[in-house]
């Protein structure tokens, strides 16, 4: 097992980004490559620092307060009377722990919530708050290895689903653009039946440039 994998296994997988990296695996990679220190994960607490130090064979450091302090596991709770169904929290949740649909009330699936807090800043009506699960338990004492494994699996699935939806949306947009490009005069005011015009040529250039950019992005 690689060092990155071992370090990632020692992290709580809340995917909260408080370490300064987009997810737990990215933080583990940064530690392995010497770009980040072992004491930047508040959800793991001081015990989490101990676990990372043991893997690295280095002296333990105190938790860096710049990234947050160790505390109880938090649970997101949505005030359903104020929820407007905007779906922004659903998109922000790294473990798909929020259930709902556009313009319909949302609710949190407690078993899947990691307390990452990422849903809080995106809510336009401030209807989400955090409540401690057990005020007496903090760090790894409040979070089991089984919960960490489940959170990582759900995050991986979330990433795969998001990538698939992004690709499918790009394909829909590309098909729509190609259809419009095939009969551009019909979609241009004042150019119906004309083979070409300055406005048709302008739109064609814009669409072709957008298609070329999308193709380059897909190949990168």
On whether residue 95 sits in a domain, the answer given is yes
| 86 and 115 belong to one structural domain | yes
Whole-number pLDDT of residue 220: 64
| 56 and 78 belong to one structural domain | no
pLDDT, mean over the chain: 88
On whether residue 151 sits in a domain, the answer given is no
Whole-number pLDDT of residue 219: 66
| 46 and 81 belong to one structural domain | no
| 175 and 200 belong to one structural domain | yes
| 22 and 56 belong to one structural domain | yes
Residue 36 to residues 32, 56, 155: CA-CA distances in angstroms? 8, 13, 22
Reduce the DSSP state of residue 178 to 3 states and report it. helix
H or E segment to which residue 213 belongs: helix 198-219
On whether residue 32 sits in a domain, the answer given is yes
Whole-number pLDDT of residue 173: 72
On whether residue 215 sits in a domain, the answer given is yes
On whether residue 148 sits in a domain, the answer given is no
- Count of the separate structural domains present in the chain: 3
| 63 and 87 belong to one structural domain | no
Strands (E), 68-204: 74-78, 98-99, 107-108, 128-132
- Give the domain extent around 178: 163-219
What pLDDT, in 10s, does the model give residues 72-94? 999 999 998 999 999 999 999 99
pLDDT band at 214 (very low <50, low <70, confident <90, very high): low
Q: In the numeric block, which tokens belong to residue 181?
A: 């490009």
Residue 145 to residues 44, 79, 94: CA-CA distances in angstroms? 11, 30, 18
CATH number at residue 137: 3.30.70.20
| 37 and 90 belong to one structural domain | no
| 82 and 136 belong to one structural domain | yes
| 89 and 125 belong to one structural domain | yes
| 131 and 167 belong to one structural domain | no
Residue that terminates a domain, selected from 41, 67, 93 = 67
- pLDDT score of 190 more than 60: no
* Cα–Cα distance, 59 to 213 (Å, whole number): 49
Q: Which of 3-17, 97-111, 140-154, 180-194 has the lowest mean pLDDT?
A: 180-194
Residue that terminates a domain, selected from 25, 47, 67 = 67
| 171 and 207 belong to one structural domain | yes
Which among 40-54, 184-198, 199-213 has the top mean pLDDT? 40-54
Whole-number pLDDT of residue 79: 94
Q: Tell the residue number behind the tokens 């739109």, with chain if given.
A: 203
* Cα–Cα distance, 8 to 24 (Å, whole number): 6
What pLDDT, in 10s, does the model give residues 151-189? 999 999 999 988 887 777 767 777 776 776 666 666 666
On whether residue 158 sits in a domain, the answer given is no
| 178 and 127 belong to one structural domain | no
Residue that terminates a domain, selected from 27, 49, 67 = 67
Q: In the numeric block, which tokens belong to residue 185?
A: 């005069």
On whether residue 155 sits in a domain, the answer given is no
Q: Which of 35-44, 111-120, 164-173, 189-198 has the lowest mean pLDDT?
A: 189-198
Whole-number pLDDT of residue 163: 83
């Amino acid at each position: 097992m690689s060092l990155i994998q071992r370090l990632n296994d020692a992290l709580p997988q809340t995917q909260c980004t408080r370490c300064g990296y987009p997810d737990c695996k990215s933080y583990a990679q940064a530690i392995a490559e010497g770009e980040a220190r072992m004491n930047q994960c508040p959800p793991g607490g001081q015990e989490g620092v101990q676990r990372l130090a043991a893997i690295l064979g280095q002296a333990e450091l105190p938790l860096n307060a710049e990234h947050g302090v160790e505390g109880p596991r938090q649970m997101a709770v949505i005030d359903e009377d104020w929820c407007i169904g905007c779906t922004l929290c659903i998109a922000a949740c790294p473990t798909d722990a929020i259930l709902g649909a556009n313009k319909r009330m949302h609710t949190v699936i407690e078993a899947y919530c990691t307390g990452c807090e990422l849903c809080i800043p995106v809510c336009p009506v401030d209807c989400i708050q955090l409540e401690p699960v057990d005020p007496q338990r903090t760090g790894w004492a409040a979070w089991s290895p089984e919960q960490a494994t489940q959170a990582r699996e759900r995050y991986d699935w979330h990433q795969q689903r998001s990538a698939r939806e992004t690709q499918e949306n790009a394909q829909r947009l590309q098909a729509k653009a190609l259809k419009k490009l095939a009969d551009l005069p019909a979609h241009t005011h004042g150019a119906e039946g004309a083979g070409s015009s300055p406005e048709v040529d302008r739109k064609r250039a814009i669409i072709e440039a957008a298609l070329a950019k999308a193709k380059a992005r897909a190949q990168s």
